[in-house]
Amino acid sequence: MRSLIVLILSAFSLMAMSGEELAAKVDSVTDGFIDSKSISTMTLFNANGVKSERKMRTSRLEGDNGDRSMIVFEAPSDIKSTALLTYEHFDKDDDQWIYLPALKRVKRIASKNKSGSFMGSEFSYEDLSSQKRFKYNYEDTVIEKKSMLVTNRIPKDKYSGYSKQVVYVDATNFLVQKVEYYDRKRELLKRAIFKNYKKIKNIWRFGSIDMENLQTKKRTVILVTNESLKNALKEKDFTKRYLKQQ
């Protein structure tokens, strides 16, 4: 009887949690990695299921005013050394630059263009920025089914490609399991599934993201094959100059 009461009280406590409080708990189990380096495979599927693969490496550095990250493609040869650099900001739009080796130049991604496809994938430039809680306004949180917490978040960025995102969080460990993305017409556009979580140096990290465009039937899957944390990366490793040297 006592355990049943505790369970009921716990459920009511979760239901009373605000969306922003839930987002803070999500951040708390994934923050603190200091920096990360990973190797990933990006697989693109067209509407007929035909796939193409890309290899890339990603590095990220935590910062007091937002993270810095860099994605560099290593294969296939026609996009090798193409690189994306992102500076996240708490109080303004993120800065993003892409290096195009064929042109040997760095191009800034304008804020109004960040909803565009990144390298033909189902991920937008916006998706590749940090998804920290300060980027959104939140609605109420509810419990759905047995162990999932659900909240709606509204991007603060006026140039966002999304009218809202519905986030599904595991109620036991506060790890994001799924995000549904609604376009500017308020229609369901994409769905991301996060899987294969594991702890590295006591920090939770996802192992894969399956992003499906529900309107075009295309998919992009990112599978992380190797990741390390606390590699002593520095801010100098995340500069526009360094972007061209990858």
For residue 241, the model assigns a pLDDT of 86
Mean pLDDT rounded to a whole number for the chain: 90
For residue 3, the model assigns a pLDDT of 45
Q: Rounded to whole angstroms, what are the CA distances from 143 to 138, 139, 168?
A: 15, 13, 10
Beta strands 51-61 and 68-75: pairing type?
Answer: antiparallel
- Tens digits of per-residue pLDDT, 22-45? 999 999 999 999 999 999 999 999
Q: Which two tokens stand for residue 152?
A: 């709606």
- Tens digits of per-residue pLDDT, 174-184? 999 999 999 99
Contacts of 231 (CB under 8 A, 6+ apart): 35, 36, 37, 59
For residue 114, the model assigns a pLDDT of 93
- Nearest partner of 211 among 86, 45, 56, judged by Cα: 45
Is the domain 2-243 a CATH 3.10.105.10 member?
no
Q: Are 122 and 211 in contact (CB under 8 A)?
A: yes
| Model confidence, pTM | 0.90
DSSP run (H or E) holding 26: helix 19-30
- Dihedral sign (CA 202, 196, 131, 136): negative
- Tens digits of per-residue pLDDT, 203-243? 999 999 999 999 999 999 999 999 999 999 999 999 988 88
pLDDT for residue 133 is more than 50:
yes
Please compute the mean of the pLDDT values over residues 118-136 and round it to a whole number: 92
pLDDT for residue 1 is more than 70:
no
For residue 4, the model assigns a pLDDT of 39
- Tens digits of per-residue pLDDT, 78-118? 999 999 999 998 888 899 999 999 999 999 999 899 999 99
Ordered by start, the domain boundaries in the chain are 2-243
- Tens digits of per-residue pLDDT, 160-175? 999 999 999 999 999 9
